Amino acid sequence: MLNDNDTVVAGLGECRVDSPLKIRRFIDEGERVIVDVEYGRVDTSFRDRGAAPSFENAGPRRKIFFEPSATKAAIVTCGGLCPGLNNVIRALVMELFYQYGVRTVYGVRYGYEGLIPSYGHGFLELHPDTVDEIHAKGGTMLGSSRGDQSVSGMVDTLEKNDISMLFTVGGDGTLRGAKDLCEEIARRGLKIAVVGIPKTIDNDISFVDRTFGFETAVAEATKVLVSAHEEARGARNGIGLVRVMGRDSGFIAAYTALASNVVNYVLLPEVPFRLRGEGGLLDHLQRRLVAKRHAVILVAEGAGQEYFEGEKARDASGNVKHGDIGVLLRDEITAHFKKLDFHVNLKYIDPSYIIRSIPASPDDAVYCIMLAQNAVHGAMAGKTGMLVGRWNNYFTFIPLHLAVQKRKKVEPDGYLWSIVKGATGQPDFA
């Protein structure tokens, strides 16, 4: 349960500057979006407390904190590549330049490394001409990186360059870094807004309906699954084994299974499965091949980690390095059927790095623009330590501490997983 303080977005001070936006509809400060729209819980909350937890409604404010002509903005993209990064960069620049009249926008090179002078990356000066066509390309024109950097050193750079607002575009690790930046900025008493934009194809940011890049990833992964299905059907006892991203959350695998409608087995990080023995995956796969002569298996990268022994190393972002479940399954399936002298034809496909580096789909491209514009509205109003997201079909401002509290995951007893099992017909491999 959330309390009222959990959803409060910090501000840098009183907004006294008239917005330069020539629009009819501004968002009043009291406009909010209820977090939980289930009637029974909302009714109980109002009866018990006289209110229900709610997020601040995103959008343009009539009064803003920063004087546009004196404002300098910076944009940083961090972590792995994701469809839509360039769309967000372009939309931020266009909104700042044309709508608010901010003429100085810096692109931070190679993630948070670009805020540490010793790396020598420097800034890129961004304006509408430099970002005009980047939305048609994958990747990020600014470059990216992983890993912790000195928070104090990064704030020194922001202060030295008179940066008024920093837009941090990234996933869980990036947003944790943004939260640390906010705390150091507040400790120094600086007037710098830090606003996050949720980027991850894993769709694992809490209190955000959907992160940008996720829809594109599902669309592209679906094409791969269709091909894997044809490969499996085209061979005697053919097996299409596809591994997709999803380190701790299996949303890509779950949605791709539903979208493709050709998957027989879906393996997620949230749902343990038994590999060997009667009723295990290998046993069920054998019976499937006898009956149907082909099968398609879709596995998220974080699934089945219980089959890897030993101490786990961590990557530059502090995340546990998972064992390669795709390779393990490939080898286990091959060995199992070889031991039985049972002919199979297995095709293993891992499209992860291809999917995350492509341009955004039309739906994601539109979503990126909406997220970016609302991020600018919030930053210009002096809001900080927050993330722009969409919740219950409204764009909202979400405090960073809430967004990074825990990862959003597929619930093993939830509605989505029940739909996946119903669509695939797979049993519980418990």
Tokens 């739909």 sit on residue: 419
Check: CB of residue 238 under 8 Å from CB of residue 297: no
Q: Determine the Cα–Cα distance for residues 399 and 9; give it in Å rounded to an integer.
A: 5
Burial of 26 (0-12, 13-18, 19+ CB in 10 A): middle
* C-alpha distances in Å from residue 61, one per residue of 20, 33, 74, 76, 175: 10, 16, 21, 24, 24
DSSP codes of every residue in 24-92: S----TT-EEES---HHHHHHHHHHHSS--EEEEPS--SEESS-GGG-EEEEEE-SS--TTHHHHHHHH
Neighbours of 146 (CB within 10 A): 18
Handedness of CA 176, 52, 372, 182 (dihedral sign): negative
Q: Which residues contact 417 (CB under 8 A, 6 or more apart)?
A: 254, 268, 270, 271, 410, 411
Q: Determine the Cα–Cα distance for residues 183 and 61; give it in Å rounded to an integer.
A: 25
Check: CB of residue 124 under 8 Å from CB of residue 110: no
Does the active-site annotation cover 28? no
Q: CA gyration radius for the chain? A: 24
Total number of residues shown for the chain? 430
DSSP state of 276: S
The amino acid at 299 = V
Catalytic residue among 48, 172, 180, 202: 202
Locate 364 and state its tokens.
Answer: 């994601």
How many H helices and E strands in the chain?
Answer: 12, 17
Q: Determine the Cα–Cα distance for residues 25 and 23; give it in Å rounded to an integer.
A: 6
Query: What are the residue numbers of the active site?
Result: 202
